[in-house]
Amino acid sequence: MDSLSRRKLLGGCAAGLLAGLAGCSADAAMFVEPVETATAIGRKATDGSERAPRDSDRAELVAAAVDGGTNRTDSYGPPYQPDRPVVHNDTVYNLTWSEATRDTSRTEYKIGMTVYDDDRATDASFADLPAVDRRRLQRYPELIQNYAENSEAEVPERVAYRIYYPPAEREASAIVPDPQYDTLSVAGQPVELSVEPTTVSLDVYRYTATERAPSVAAFGRDLRREHRFELSGLSKPEREFFDRVRSEGSFYKGAFDDVPDGAFKGLADHFVAEPAIFVENTTGEWLTRYEGTDYWVEIDFVLLEEYEQRLHAVESL
């Protein structure tokens, strides 16, 4: 499970949103993965395609930042904020961004679909739309089908989102700037279209990249030399607990677990006493050596505030 998925799971657990899911009601969680090569270490410590799939927009942003820097716009903050160095062509870079002193604007479209439950005629089906429209509007069919299957839903039901079409996509669109159809068949339901252009103010962010290491493996060797610590001096319960987690890969601490409370907390004490390679909110990540093998250890102290407050990161990577 990648880090983002873990955070989503644990966040849902802490909020009580996923109470029926195994591993929920967790006070904390630990993930242990062997990293037997410098490349494996480097991959855990970088935001690259091996860690989590990167969409084409982010890959292009990183490439442009490496090639002299690039500007990006967004109305909600920097569009890409990696929590660790990035990888481009196997070279590791520190990516930095800052808000420019200027802003800009663009035209977005509020596209509404009002669902009816009668047998009115439609001009086309959703499947007949150009590929660019089907991609931009892909969330609509599922939502409309959910509305149609909910016997308590009032109709007409309107679904509307503000969507940006780049200029090239507008040329290929049958929806913006002026819809070619008044009524579509979406998820088997007649749907009335509405399209409203709106001007949106955008902040401009400048991205630049500086080389951190000539390769992922070289970065891993640096981390192993500078930030790995030996996990030793464990009590018997702590040792048995860590052996279990490294065998199973993960552990969720809560009322449901069968591990003595002192075993988890004692082991956690060893980790929070060391600077973590990464700290984000309630989570720390460490590189440790235990019985001749290197391990990447991630601990999320979801509800254990006393441990969260003891997290501290290395001074620099």
pLDDT band of 151, cuts 50, 70, 90: low
In the block, tokens 């980790």 appear at 271
- In the chain, pLDDT over 90 holds for what percent of residues? 75
Higher pLDDT, 255 or 125: 125
Q: Which two tokens stand for residue 276?
A: 């973590």
Closest CA to 220 of 50, 14, 55, 20: 50
Higher pLDDT, 12 or 120: 120
Per-residue pLDDT at 53 exceeds 70: no
How many angstroms separate the CA atoms of 204 and 199, rounded? 16
Closest CA to 32 of 311, 302, 296, 300: 296
pLDDT band of 146, cuts 50, 70, 90: confident
In the block, tokens 């993960």 appear at 250
What pLDDT does residue 23 have? 42
Q: Which two tokens stand for residue 48?
A: 């690259």
Per-residue pLDDT tens digits for 4-46? 345 444 444 444 333 334 444 579 999 999 999 999 999 999 9
What pLDDT does residue 217 have? 98
Mean pLDDT across the chain, nearest whole number?
89
What pLDDT does residue 54 have? 55
Which region, left, alpha or beta, applies to residue 146 given φ > 0 means left and ψ of -120 to 50 means alpha? Answer: alpha
Mean pLDDT, rounded, for 143-158: 76
Mean pLDDT, rounded, for 138-161: 81
Q: Which two tokens stand for residue 45?
A: 């410590």
| This prediction's pTM | 0.73
- At 66, is the secondary structure helix, strand, or coil? helix
Residue 213: CB atoms within 10 A of its CB come to: 23
- At 83, is the secondary structure helix, strand, or coil? coil
